Amino acid sequence: MPQASAALPARLGGGTSASMLRVRYAFAFALPLLIACSGSTETPVDAAAAQGPMVNGLTPQQAAATLVQVGDTTITVGEFAQRLAEQSPYLRARYNSPERRREFLENMVRFELLAQEAKRRGLDADPEVRRTRDQVMIQQMMKSEFEDRIRLSDISDAETSSYYEAHRDEFVKPEQVRASDIRMANRAAAQRVLAQIQAAPSDVGLFRQLAEANNEDPDTRDRFGDLRFFSRTGEPGDAHESVPREVNEAAFALTQIGSVAPHLVRVGDAYHIVKLTGRRAALNRSLEEVRRPIQNRLWREKREHAIQEFLTRLRTEGHVNENAAALASVHIDIPDAEAAPAVQVPTPGPSVEAP
């Protein structure tokens, strides 16, 4: 047996590629077991090479040899070698010794014994078992039908460039700020509100409270004066239609998040109190910088489209008939709000903002 293992590298050549190492590992693992089963101590490499293409270092004849019989189930040398080849390089190295290989084989035998006992007890007909089996089958089918056939490399440069040009505003954006605004018609009243805010600069909730009580802008009253993000007036993506130019300029003049314009901002007959609540730096990402994210997005879209077409065809061919009346008769018991546990859902926001 040592002679057979030593002869293998000479037969395979001096290459050290990952695929060659896998072949060497698998053959080194499986060959001693095959020899043990057959009772022969001769090296079968030369004879086996002429019997057909080798998989995991085994010819079809070697792979088909019985390694162990567990009831009605046969574990062949090829199956054993394949299972070893599927392990990580670290685990394959671990099973390099005869004792470890026998341990691996014993695990396979134990698995078959347990599976046969579970089947004998009728668990293969259990609804949960069948559902799990169906899920595994579906996963395998979807993988072979879509993931293996629709590859990232199928997304062409032309498709990537076309998407970039059509969605340039996602990758090229000017600097933006976010601000809150209290608009009031009475100058004296507005000045008093501004003085209250300036007298308590550390009270982060004060501006919101005063906006709720004094803001006269019907569009932002329910948002406590929030103007959301906007660019400078005249730049792409600006909000000049809803944010007056004077307010826009006052917001961009502020440098510290949470600061308030020191003076009232007059726009026509109204007076505005402006607070800076967020800032976004300009974004200018080239096609090369976003090529891979775009390819990933197009690949997902193409796969999802193919899956939807596949499901539509199956639904048509499967003659699906729904009983709407039966569906309407299903009732779900929902616990009272007092008994139900509170669920907090995080809400994402800009990276730099003030209350």
Work out the pLDDT band at 35, boundaries 50, 70, 90. very low
Contact yes or no for 256/116 (Cβ under 8 A): no
Report the run of H or E that residue 351 belongs to, with start and end: none
pLDDT in tens, 79-100: 999 998 888 888 888 888 888 8
Encoding tokens for residue 72?
């009605």
Percent of the chain past pLDDT 70, that is, above it, reads 78
Q: What is the pLDDT of residue 114?
A: 94
The pLDDT of residue 104 is above 70: yes
Lowest mean pLDDT among 92-96, 117-121, 196-200: 92-96
Q: What angle do CA 94, 96, 102 make, to 5 degrees?
A: 90
Fold topology of 175-281: Chitinase A; domain 3 (3.10.50)
The pLDDT of residue 8 is above 80: no
Q: What is the pLDDT of residue 151?
A: 87
Q: What is the pLDDT of residue 153?
A: 87
pLDDT in tens, 266-283: 999 999 999 999 999 999
Averaged pLDDT of the chain: 81
Side chain identity at 221, as an amino acid letter?
Answer: R
Q: What is the pLDDT of residue 338?
A: 56
Lowest mean pLDDT among 51-55, 83-87, 345-349: 345-349
Q: What is the pLDDT of residue 169?
A: 86
Residue ranges of the domains in the chain? 2-124, 126-168+287-315, 175-281
Contact yes or no for 260/277 (Cβ under 8 A): no
Cα(167)–Cα(302) distance, integer angstroms: 17
Work out the pLDDT band at 341, boundaries 50, 70, 90. low
